[in-house]
Structure 1
Amino acid sequence: MPILMSNNQLKQLNLDKSDALTFYPPKGLFKIVYQALILPNLPEPFHYLNFISLIGQPRIPICYNASAITTTAIDTATVLVTTSPSTVGHLKSYSAKEQCQLEIDHYQFLDVDHIQVDFPNYYFNRKDDELSCQLKVTTSTEIESHSALQWGVADYWYVNCHCEGEVTYKKQKYEINASGILKHARAIYLPFIAFHFFTYQIIQINNDLQIILSELRNQWNNIVFSRIEIQSKEKETRLYQDNVIFDVTRVYPKIQTPNGREMYLPRVFVWQYHEDDQIIFQLQAQSRGDYKFGLAAGYVGSFTYELLWDNETYQGTGYCEYVDCRPLHWQEKDKTDQIIDQTPHLQPFLCKK
């Protein structure tokens, strides 16, 4: 997992904000490039909105979407734009060499998808008959987190942002004014890494308080990391990464993905963090059932939640990314079998907490 770096560490590396928040296109060894705008808490009918592009298909099960490959895996670029309502063309696939123009200040995918940088503003535009958008994104004054994989094989940053603009859905226009998160990552074309389960979830309680929840597992169902990150403009970031539990208590009927994998998607799930046998954080969530395929090898959707944190309660809408490429016996195992998760398995990988 990327090592979190503070703003002070960024200054020690002589990185100012404009350098750190650059959208680097594919170049040299860095063949894989990812960027995402996520707005997790929008009014009806949208509930959430994402605008995610991935250039190149990594050799990692949770990232590899064979059904989207147009020419070769490394030449394939995908752009995913979704909200809660159903759309047909939410995922679009391109040849990076033949159909895209990728520069340090703008990415153009045919005449459909366009991402432009004019720091500190970012512009995301999609032209589509069913769902289109014109969005202006302004980043916060401080980088909330900047990280990199060890050995210099990848760079990653994300920052809180505010988004204004317009979404057109089935020829009806809606104004957007919301807070969210902006992310960018790039990596070398790594050899195969057996990451088989990943979930990434965001709840935006208000403009000043954002919570990111994530978990990564390998093919043996061992947890690589499980973490809860709470970002507030008024307080320092709080990170829970020990004694964190993510548990799916109900699932939807088994589905088959466009890649031919069988997968269970979560219907009801819980996040919990405890200290000294006392529950500090507990999130109970229920999916809206609006999952859409196209987030790498998995799905995106939204959920409603009830949160108890530091003796305060919150309710609202959250955003969920969910990819489960584990063998079915891990997906279907009984709760009494979960002790197996604690059995150590040796496996080299390039990430660490």
Structure 2
Amino acid sequence: MNQSQQLNPKSFSKLNLAYHPPKGRFKIIHQGLILPNLPAPFHYLNFISLIGQPRIPVFFNQSAILEQALDTATVLVSSSPHMVGQLKSYSIKEQCLFNSDNFSFADIDQVSGELPALRIKHQSPEFSIDLNVVTLPVLSQFIKIKWGLFEHWSLLCQCKGEVYYQEQRYLIEGTGSFEYARAANIPVITWCFFTYQVINLSPSLQVLLLQIRNNFNQLVQSHLYVRDIAGDMELHDKNVIFKVDRVYPKVTTPNGKEMYLPREFSWCVEHEGQILFELHAQSRGDFKFGLAAGYVGSFRYQAHWEGESYEGESGYIEYIDCRPLRWQEKNEQDKILDQLSVAEPCILKK
């Protein structure tokens, strides 16, 4: 059973988080930094590492595996412009060095330090980053499965540093999300749809949106997290509706999966009969492959939260759809029936 709902009180006085390289049964380790709301030409920046390839459809990138899944680490460093070499694969045994305060991928990608202060670096001819990250004690627990088989959390963070792009130096800073996950190499969990969005409604107020579905299109979870640098965090897990309004033409991933990417999409969250949160989003068309088995990009948006209106140019989206095409190519009646099923999400089994 997913215990994440039990771990989201409004504020935290003390955090006791697991944060380590692969060890023991935890063969799969993920770290990520997401920084939305950046000015053009970047719009967003991410650093996503995955050590080992889990047997979960949305996270398994067959095309990135060098020889063995558990000896393959991937790092995706991207921003809105399309660049060569945004996704790299490494042999863990031959190219990587991991310990409690340093994750090094062939001296190209690196996460160093200890929570709450980290430094993240990436070096390539076209795009390099050097960022100082300070995590705040504002926790969003996405997934925590019983017996510690899989857990995934996010901390609000503040970032400041340098980006080098096409031989120009940019200073950037802002509010972001630092994430960590660890998992045992358990048998297949049939999660086939995953979307995750990060939006900074203001410099101090951040929204996270997450939906996961299985291969039968049953809802695993659909959550809204709202948090601020003052330490407040809200979780809403009832009546959180995600809808794709328009799609781009069908694409085929490097793994041979056919997928529709959202051109326009929306979220609506109701509480006690009132609309608490609403979002309408328009993709910038900058999707790029390499976020596990799917894509990452950015979007423009118009949002409403607790009676206030917001709009922005640079929301962040991760989108992976490995469901059979019959679930992706739904008619309007099917979509209406699908929304009715949101009220009764599928529970992860023990």
Counterpart check, 1:331 vs 2:343? no
Q: CA deviation at 1:221?
A: 0.9
Counterpart check, 1:150 vs 2:151? no
Aligned identity (percent) is 48
Partner residue of 1:322 out of 319, 324, 344: 319
Corresponding position of 1:268: 264
Matched to 1:145, the amino acid is S
Counterpart check, 1:247 vs 2:247? no
Partner residue of 1:35 out of 16, 31, 34: 31
CA–CA separation in structure 1 for the residues paired with 2:83 and 2:285: 14
Matched to 2:62, the amino acid is A
Counting only pairs closer than 5 Å after superposition, residues 164-183 of structure 1 correspond to structure 2 as: 164-183=160-179
Question: What are the superposed Cα offsets for residues 196-244 of structure 1, whole Å, 9 maximum, x if unpaired?
Answer: 0000001012221000001000111111111111112447322221111
Counting only pairs closer than 5 Å after superposition, residues 178-257 of structure 1 correspond to structure 2 as: 178-234=174-230, 236-257=232-253
Counting only pairs closer than 5 Å after superposition, residues 263-342 of structure 1 correspond to structure 2 as: 263-316=259-312, 317-338=314-335, 341=338
CA–CA separation in structure 1 for the residues paired with 2:149 and 2:106: 29
CA–CA separation in structure 2 for the residues paired with 1:235 and 1:186: 25
Counting only pairs closer than 5 Å after superposition, residues 25-174 of structure 1 correspond to structure 2 as: 25-140=21-136, 142-146=137-141, 148-174=144-170
CA–CA separation in structure 1 for the residues paired with 2:10 and 2:208: 22
CA–CA separation in structure 1 for the residues paired with 2:315 and 2:97: 33
Other structure's SS at 1:144 match? strand
Question: What are the superposed Cα offsets for residues 161-210 of structure 1, whole Å, 9 maximum, x if unpaired?
Answer: 11111011111111011110111111100101111000000101222100
Matched to 1:3, the amino acid is S
Q: Cα gap change, 1:264/1:6 in structure 2, threshold over 3 Å: closer, same or farther? A: closer
Q: CA deviation at 1:347?
A: 8.3
Q: CA deviation at 1:276?
A: 4.6
Question: What are the superposed Cα offsets for residues 305-334 of structure 1, whole Å, 9 maximum, x if unpaired?
Answer: 000122210011210000000011110111
Q: Cα gap change, 1:133/1:234 in structure 2, threshold over 3 Å: closer, same or farther? A: closer
Q: CA deviation at 1:73?
A: 0.8
Maintained 8 Å contact 1:29/1:189: yes
Other structure's SS at 2:37 match? coil
Maintained 8 Å contact 1:40/1:204: yes
Matched to 2:135, the amino acid is T
Maintained 8 Å contact 1:33/1:185: yes
Corresponding position of 1:3: 4
Maintained 8 Å contact 1:131/1:167: yes
CA–CA separation in structure 1 for the residues paired with 2:8 and 2:56: 28
Q: CA deviation at 1:281?
A: 1.4
Greater displacement, 264-273 / 335-344: 335-344
- Gaps of at least 5 residues in structure 1 are none
Other structure's SS at 2:94 match? helix
Q: CA deviation at 1:40?
A: 1.1
- Gaps of at least 5 residues in structure 2 are none
Matched to 2:83, the amino acid is T
Q: CA deviation at 1:63?
A: 0.6
Matched to 1:299, the amino acid is Y
CA–CA separation in structure 1 for the residues paired with 2:47 and 2:256: 25
Maintained 8 Å contact 1:24/1:103: yes
**TM-score of the superposed pair, with normalisation by structure 2:** 0.92
Other structure's SS at 1:151 match? helix
Q: CA deviation at 1:96?
A: 0.8
CA–CA separation in structure 2 for the residues paired with 1:270 and 1:7: 27
Other structure's SS at 1:27 match? coil
Q: Cα gap change, 1:108/1:193 in structure 2, threshold over 3 Å: closer, same or farther? A: same
* Matched length: 344
Maintained 8 Å contact 2:210/2:222: yes
Question: What are the superposed Cα offsets for residues 279-323 of structure 1, whole Å, 9 maximum, x if unpaired?
Answer: 221100000000010000000000010001222100112100000
